[in-house]
């Protein structure tokens, strides 16, 4: 059925928790056999995921369904003494370093768990493998996603209503994931579930993508608006290089903050340049920037009460008044520090280890309305959506790419401009923030692919104004 303008957006339901029958106590007892030294952490990860994909209509197979489940057992040995590993030595295992061992299976069964336990422990004799009951509930019947099937038609209708027409190939996906983490020596958290949608549009003049916690008429309007904007800017020349004012709409500000604040304050990336704790208290940007990460405040369909290591999430201030308050950390980094706290460990799936990542960023709104943000910015650019960005954690160099934008004329967005990049050192860019909008907009910040581990990230941001920043084609 095709959604109408008045129809509410569909959120994935999560009634069917597959891990209700899992014997968590027995799993925890089994894991305690692995964690036999001070500072050891052993955990088990059980996951089930489903993706329903509707590709562009001329690209069969016409519907694609991926259903996965599996488990992983991990032993994390922090503070490993030199040479405790299997290696002949090297600078990566000094005191304070850590070792981690993981075994992953594409099946959830007592036998698979026992095997994974044996492989992660690397020492348990075969006879000692506990085999608790871990089988998940059976998959429900065939996957159905009527809201996904109806979405392309809804987008095309919205585009037509704007009196435009152009070729566009839409791929729409519904993503669902159920997770249960059991760790040794700590309370077992509630199972977690996430569900959201992704949309990718291929246009003759580039690609566009977005994440949504729900899918319906409102999201079709959002997609159509973005595509029409891209269509109208298709032949606009890129701006000449300049240094000046830029106003980032909330969606673009979310990408900036994800790349320039969240990634920059991940403990593992901070460690590339030195001690992650040393970042605390450092002035990192304009005093107008108050940024936090709060997975519990994410849109309801992706909200989390615990992270992917089973630690409770919390409202974590990253920047207060432009000063670093607390880096993002997982169990590995928190175990070695009195300053870093866990709760921000995320993992793409059973085959990857957790690492510190943000889930849902918030930029605390400021006091400026649109008129104030645009005031005196004539000749600068209004940039609605960023295509992506990247940060070099060693040099602090940062780039944010835009497919199009608009020149600011008479205190408002004017004629379109083509592709351009905002680049510079992270600290300089964040210091250049001179205004924060008063109206925050929640939404998907996009896919984050740190080290190839792809995860959705969310944000609630107002618009941002930056002055004196460099824009290049």
Integer CA distances (angstroms), 458 to 130, 350, 402, in order: 39, 22, 19
- Cα 373-377-380 angle, rounded to 5 deg: 115
Tell me whether residue 138 or residue 371 sits nearer to another protein (CB atom): 138
Instruction: Round to whole Å and give the CA distance between 224 and 231.
Output: 10
Q: Which is nearer to another protein, 102 or 457 (CB)?
A: 102
Residue number with CB closer to another protein (88 or 127): 88
Q: How far is the CB of 137 from another protein (least distance, A)?
A: 14
- Least Å distance, CB 342 to another protein, is 16
Q: Which is nearer to another protein, 314 or 399 (CB)?
A: 399
Q: Which residues bind another protein (CB under 8 A)?
A: 52, 54-55, 57-70, 85-94, 96-107, 112, 115, 119, 122, 141-144, 149, 268, 271-272, 332, 351, 353, 392, 394-395, 472
Q: Smallest gap, in angstroms, from Cβ of residue 140 to another protein?
A: 9
Smaller CB distance to another protein: residue 106 or 415? 106
**C-beta neighbour count of 273 within 10 angstroms:** 13
Tokens of 48: 């089930």
Query: From the CB of 110, what's the least distance to another protein, in Å?
Result: 14
Quick count: other Cβ atoms within 10 Å of Cβ 271? Answer: 15
DSSP 109-121: SHHHHHHHHHHHH
How far is residue 18's CA from residue 190's CA, in Å, rounded to a whole number?
12
For the CA atoms of 400, 403, 406, 408, what is the dihedral angle to 10 degrees? 20
Cβ proximity to another protein, 71 vs 253, nearer residue: 71
Q: How far is the CB of 419 from another protein (least distance, A)?
A: 11
DSSP class per residue in 321-380:
TTEE---B--HHHHTT-SS-----EE-SSTTS--EE--SEEEE---SB-HHHHHTT-TTS
Instruction: Provide, rounded to whole angstroms, the least separation between the CB of residue 434 and another protein.
Output: 26
């Amino acid at each position: 059925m095709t959604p109408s303008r008045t129809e509410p957006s569909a959120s994935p339901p999560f009634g069917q928790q597959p891990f209700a029958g899992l014997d968590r106590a027995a799993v925890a007892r089994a894991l305690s056999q692995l964690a036999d030294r001070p500072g050891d952490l052993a955990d088990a990860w059980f996951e089930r995921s489903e993706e329903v994909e509707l590709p562009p209509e001329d690209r069969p197979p016409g519907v694609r369904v991926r259903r996965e489940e599996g488990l992983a057992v991990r032993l994390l040995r922090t503070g490993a003494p030199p040479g405790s590993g299997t290696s002949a030595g090297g600078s990566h295992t000094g005191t304070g370093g850590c070792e981690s061992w993981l075994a992953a299976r594409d099946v959830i069964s007592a036998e698979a768990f026992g095997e994974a336990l044996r492989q992660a422990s690397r020492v348990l004799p075969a006879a000692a493998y506990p085999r608790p009951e871990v089988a998940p509930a059976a998959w429900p019947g065939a996957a159905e996603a009527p809201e996904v099937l109806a979405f392309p038609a809804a987008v095309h209708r919205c585009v037509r209503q704007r009196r435009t027409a152009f070729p566009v190939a839409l791929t729409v996906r519904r993503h669902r994931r159920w997770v249960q983490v059991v760790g040794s020596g700590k309370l077992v958290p509630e199972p977690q579930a996430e569900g959201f949608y992704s949309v990718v549009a291929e246009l003759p003049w580039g690609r566009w993508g977005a994440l949504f916690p729900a899918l319906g008429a409102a999201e079709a309007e959002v997609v159509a608006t973005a595509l029409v904007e891209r269509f109208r800017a298709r032949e606009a020349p890129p701006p000449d290089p300049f240094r000046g004012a830029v106003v980032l709409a909330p969606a673009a500000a979310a990408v900036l903050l994800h790349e320039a604040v969240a990634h920059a304050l991940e403990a593992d990336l901070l460690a590339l340049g030195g001690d992650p704790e040393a970042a605390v208290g450092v002035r990192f940007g304009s005093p107008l920037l108050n940024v936090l990460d709060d997975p519990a405040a994410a849109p309801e369909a992706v909200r989390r009460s615990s992270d992917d290591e089973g630690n409770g999430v919390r409202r974590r201030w990253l920047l207060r008044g432009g000063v670093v308050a607390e880096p993002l950390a997982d169990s590995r980094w928190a175990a070695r520090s009195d300053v870093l706290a866990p709760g921000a460990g995320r993992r793409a799936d059973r085959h990857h280890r957790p690492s510190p990542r943000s889930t849902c960023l918030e930029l605390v709104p400021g006091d400026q309305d649109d008129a104030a943000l645009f005031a005196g910015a004539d000749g600068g650019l209004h940039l609605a959506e960023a295509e992506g960005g990247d940060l070099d954690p060693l040099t602090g160099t940062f780039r944010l790419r835009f497919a199009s934008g608009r020149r600011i004329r008479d205190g408002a967005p004017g004629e379109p401009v083509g592709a351009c990049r905002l680049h510079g050192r992270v600290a300089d860019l964040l210091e250049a923030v001179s205004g924060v909008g008063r109206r925050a907009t929640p939404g998907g910040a996009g896919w984050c692919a740190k080290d190839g581990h792809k995860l959705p990230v969310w944000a609630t941001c107002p618009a941002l104004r930056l002055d004196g920043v460099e824009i290049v084609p």
